[in-house]
């Protein structure tokens, strides 16, 4: 798939279904024919030696999936996230969250002074009935402007009520890019797990970039320069 798309470097994200067993992700990084980095899932039982081993294997961040476990607004386990972030900060890793920003109108205040950079998937993962005027999305933009928050252009089918070309997503992408183009990266979201719509074709997803990022220089920044900085590629 990567060869077909012309991808020359990649980042493999630990799927939630494997929990904290990162062995498949690590094997994929090691066996890849192109330079790869990874994002792992860990918990507070992990030892410092294990974290160091993950770093040597190419891991550059940790991921917390809060979509299925977070409670009502304000119930994000921020204390746990901060403790984990404190441990990985010396390595220069980031903390990735899978979270609906429309659940958190004070999202920027929640992450004030967070120990690491944070990364959000699926353009902030707003629910399809929300738009860029929502307080949670506006809080995300403020956090991006602070320089320590990144957003991934991934999974447009997860935040749009329609099918390809996924109505409403272009507006969201433009808002994020206009706010902080140096804090945006792209991802395929392959292999598209738990998709209830028609399975997307990855070539079609790549073609959306022409509408999302019409400026060639900014497109190169998002596809090449930004991920090189974020993942140490």
- To the query of whether residue 48 is one of the catalytic residues in this protein, the response is no
Read off the pLDDT of residues 163-195 as tens digits, 9 standing for 90 and up: 999 999 999 999 999 999 999 999 999 999 989
Average pLDDT on 18-46 reads 96
Alpha-carbon gap, residue 187 to 11, rounded angstroms? 9
Q: Which segments within the chain are labelled E, that is strand?
A: 10-13, 36-40, 59-65, 94-98, 118-120, 149-153, 184-186
**pLDDT, tens digit, 9 for 90 and up, residues 91-126:** 999 999 999 999 999 999 999 999 999 999 999 999
Average pLDDT over residues 143-150: 96
- How many structural domains compose the chain? 1
- Determine if the pTM surpasses 0.85: yes
Distance CA 218, CA 153 (A): 13
The catalytic residue among 102, 108, 189, 202 is: 189
| pLDDT tens sequence across 39-85 | 999 999 999 999 999 999 999 999 999 886 545 444 678 899 999 99
The per-residue pLDDT for 73 is 47
What pLDDT does residue 69 have? 58
CATH code of 175's domain? 3.20.20.140
Q: Which domain holds residue 13?
A: 2-231
Mean pLDDT of the chain: 94
DSSP 94-144: EEEEE--GGG-TTHHHHTTT-SS-EEESGGG---TT--TTSHHHHHHHHHH
């Amino acid at each position: 798939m990567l060869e077909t798309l012309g991808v020359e470097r990649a980042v493999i994200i630990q799927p939630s279904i494997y929990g904290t067993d990162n062995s498949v992700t690590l094997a994929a990084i090691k066996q890849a024919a192109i330079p790869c980095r990874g994002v792992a899932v860990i918990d507070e039982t992990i030892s410092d030696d294990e974290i160091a081993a993950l770093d040597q294997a190419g891991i550059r961040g940790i991921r917390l999936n809060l979509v299925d476990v977070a409670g009502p607004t304000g119930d994000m386990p921020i204390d746990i996230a901060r403790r984990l972030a404190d441990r990985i900060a010396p390595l220069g890793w980031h903390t990735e969250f899978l979270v609906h920003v429309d659940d958190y109108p004070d999202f920027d205040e929640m992450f004030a002074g967070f120990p690491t950079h944070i990364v959000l998937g699926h353009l902030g993962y707003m629910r399809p009935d929300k738009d860029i005027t929502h307080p949670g999305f506006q809080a995300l933009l403020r956090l991006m402007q602070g320089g320590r928050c990144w957003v991934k252009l991934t999974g447009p089918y997860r935040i749009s009520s329609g099918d390809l070309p996924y109505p409403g997503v272009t507006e969201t992408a433009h808002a994020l890019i206009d706010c902080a183009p140096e804090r945006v990266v792209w991802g395929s979201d392959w292999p598209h797990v738990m998709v209830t719509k028609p399975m997307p074709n990855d070539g079609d997803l790549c073609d959306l970039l022409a509408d999302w990022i019409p400026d060639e220089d900014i497109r190169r920044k998002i596809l090449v320069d930004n991920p090189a900085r974020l993942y140490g590629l």
